[in-house]
Structure 1
């Protein structure tokens, strides 16, 4: 597929998901991600911030494409895309190394270059995160069904990153498809604060009305982010028309619920299509 075909397929898949009942899938995704989040809250609230998250996926995508790719090549790519600055990338890569998610050694043929290898811990946690998107997405539109369920984690990662590299190269990520959402997801905890509000509303039966949900203190405790951080996010959302602020809680507007569904439909679609492309499933639909 060329870029136009990929974009059309992604939009088509995402739209189909928004026309379905996504609520149970979103709830399952939130529960699966928070299982990992609770074990390492500091790590995941950093990782899930959108710019950090896309850099982590870029690292793995380049690694699966070429196991000897220099770290400098990934750094240059991420800088060119504007994900993070040079200094922030250096600090982030060091964070992965110190946290035990990346091995780094000198290139055998060029001592000026450093080669990186994701650790087994990194791969296991990536597989868990991938399944946290994939399993819920199959509840909405079961594209791959048994083919995916039969895969082990190693094959699942290989197929995913083989296809994901095509979407990444075409620059068809959330920041380009929905740049207006970055105020919400490019924060500590990434999309989880958004989903905490959404799932609270769903559990309270208030998805179709303006109703107050969790207090800032409750959300702060659950997500290991400061109350000030959450208040700042909600106040920005209030200016944009998504929330109404109260002294201790937040009221969701219907437009926020719609925005959350659209964001998750893109996330789910990227995972599904990446695996389809990696497995060559339905890839001939838009054959060039």
Structure 2
């Protein structure tokens, strides 16, 4: 699949996601990811900030593509994409090491470089996050014959990471496909604060008519972000035409509903297609091995 075909397939799949049971899928995603988030709100509110999340995904993808890849290659890739500055990347890598999510050591072939490896703690966390997108996507477009075979988390993560590598290389990611959503994503908690509002409205049966949102104190405590953080997001969204607000009432505009549905459909589509591409590559390698052994 060339880059043009990949983009067309991403757009087609995300469009199919939007036309399906997208609200049900979004609620399941929110519930699944919040199971982990509540245990470590400080870690997840930083991890899910879009640029940091893309750095974490890049580490996993590069690591599975080539176990000997130096950490400097990932740094250069992330710098080129504009995810974070060199100093911020170094600080983030140090945070992952200190937090027990990554091991760094001298590169076996060049002592001037460093190699890296995700710890079991990181692999478990990554797998849970992937499942929080993959399982909801199954509600909308249930498939495939290979899904039941991925019983081991290590298999799921390996296949996902190798498929994601192709999407990372193409740069067909959410910030490029739907750049107007980045104001939501690239802040503490990533997409979850806005998704929390969406889910609250959906479950109260008032998604398109406005509702008395849970207090800022309650939402900020749940998400591990400050009350001021939530208020600033709402104010920014209001200036962009996504809300109408007074002190307590927040009315969600059709533009906000459409933005959230499109953003989540793209995220679900990227996860689904990463799995499909990774599985296709795995099947080709298996056939090559079988042919060589004959």
Please tell me the TM-score bracket, short chain as reference.
over 0.9
* In 1: Cα distance, 2:250 partner to 2:70 partner: 46
What is aligned with 1:121?
121
Deviation of 1:205 after TM superposition, in Å, equals 0.2
Deviation of 1:10 after TM superposition, in Å, equals 0.1
**Secondary structure of 2:38's partner?**
helix
**Secondary structure of 1:105's partner?**
strand
Deviations 1:102-157 (A, max 9, x none): 0000012211100000000100111111111100110011132x521331111111
Deviation of 1:255 after TM superposition, in Å, equals 1.5
Deviations 1:219-252 (A, max 9, x none): 1111010011111111110011001222145321
What is aligned with 1:77?
77
**Secondary structure of 1:115's partner?**
strand
| Paired residue total | 282
TM-score calculated relative to the size of structure 2: 0.93
Report if aligned partners of 1:216, 1:249 keep a CA contact under 8 Å in 2.
Answer: no
What is aligned with 2:177?
177
* In 2: Cα distance, 1:105 partner to 1:251 partner: 52
Deviations 1:190-245 (A, max 9, x none): 01011100100011101232333222122111101001111111111001100122
What is aligned with 2:97?
97
Greater Cα shift, 223-232 or 210-219: 210-219
Report if aligned partners of 2:107, 2:113 keep a CA contact under 8 Å in 1.
Answer: yes
Root-mean-square deviation (CA), in Å? 1.5
What is aligned with 1:66?
66
What is aligned with 2:190?
190
Q: Is 1:161 aligned with 2:161? A: yes
* In 2: Cα distance, 1:90 partner to 1:245 partner: 40
Report if aligned partners of 1:49, 1:190 keep a CA contact under 8 Å in 2.
Answer: yes
What is aligned with 2:288?
none
Report if aligned partners of 2:220, 2:226 keep a CA contact under 8 Å in 1.
Answer: yes
User: Structure 1: which 5+ residue stretches go unaligned?
Assistant: none
What is aligned with 1:240?
240
Query: Where in structure 1 do 4 or more consecutive aligned residues deviate above 3 Å?
Result: none
* In 1: Cα distance, 2:137 partner to 2:102 partner: 29
Q: Is 1:47 aligned with 2:54? A: no
User: Structure 2: which 5+ residue stretches go unaligned?
Assistant: 285-294
TM-score calculated relative to the size of structure 1: 0.95
